[in-house]
Structure 1
């Protein structure tokens, strides 16, 4: 199992799409948002929020763009492994999700180090709790990436992945970030993890209780896991060849 995980991590790190969508793009967002947005409150707290939000951007890209394309490319290979080894679909989903979580921890670490070096980001317990929540919420996008990879081919994903990525990110730009979203948009955002992540981050920052929002975030993730398993069963014959 450890050998498989190490191999999967190295394979992803060599992927240029992973580097662009999960490291380069979030850091660009961090620089641009810090340059053009004018926070009303404390600048240090604002940088903390930006770092967590950019971690969400990076980890979402890891699932929606990198993972989905990789699964689509390797579907036939995955099916051949199922046919000749005890490597089950459940184990594949578990290992893939675990590897992506480890990589998402790396993404969060890179953003924190960059924020510390460039913006003097304050690394404390509150920041680490927020970053941990952002990484946890990335499970939602990991399961979406698996589902998209099972459903679509590589060509379709290369055309759709970036618009999907930007669309999902728009669903995370909630009123809790100081924006003024239309009421209908605010209702739609309740079906996406960013809505509850932003509320939980705000509660932690204010010294409040974030358990209810974390619970709703967990329900979103669990629902996507069920969808992923359903999609796999639906596409199983195609995957198995």
Structure 2
């Protein structure tokens, strides 16, 4: 009976995807309009003085402090975790007359092989900062689906509470939105209780229309976040891309009532 209920749920989810697929295929983004809107945003009045400091401190609390280097070791992961717990120098806090207690970054982000080290370091520091792991053959995603799913499961087993996946850019460039939907849905299932951030690698998607379509399809497949880029592409987060993805999030919310978060990456 349980398996039959699962079958009905997956059938229902896929039926809804097929229902909206025709809409997704007909989407077209006006690039000139996006660029005009992006150019207008920096001309607006900025926050200043105390408000600016408050916004900067808020921005720190939204950062995934990251190390994704081939020479990562337990020692530099340990240093990263210490920085995550104490993100602002004490002399700056004193100058602004603020208490740094309780101010941390949002997460520590590492390769799957360094998840256990991060969990151990944060536990030693007494911090409840989640560990995020890049997975699914980051940054290219050019691995078999079985390998990508297994990488997610191993990272979660080691203590990762957030998983950053990368989508199949080959599918996106070829317009295979059903393929992306199916893969991302399986990745979401592999994440279990961990949050899933879906990296679109927007600099490799070719067009803003593809960026919007990929955003919608990944949200339909269960993404908790949609993320601009791996930080490894030639072009990473840009203001026009952020506008298109934000619009996709708004449209998806209006249709479904479900809010998905946006994550910008420009390492």
Considering the TM-score relative to the shorter chain, is it more than 0.5? no
Larger RCO (alpha carbons 8 Å, 6+ apart):
1
Q: TM-score, normalised by structure 2?
A: 0.26
Task: Point out the structure with max Rg over C-alpha.
Answer: 2
Normalised to the residue count of structure 1, the TM-score between the two structures is: 0.28
More strand by share: 2
Q: Which has the higher helix share?
A: 1
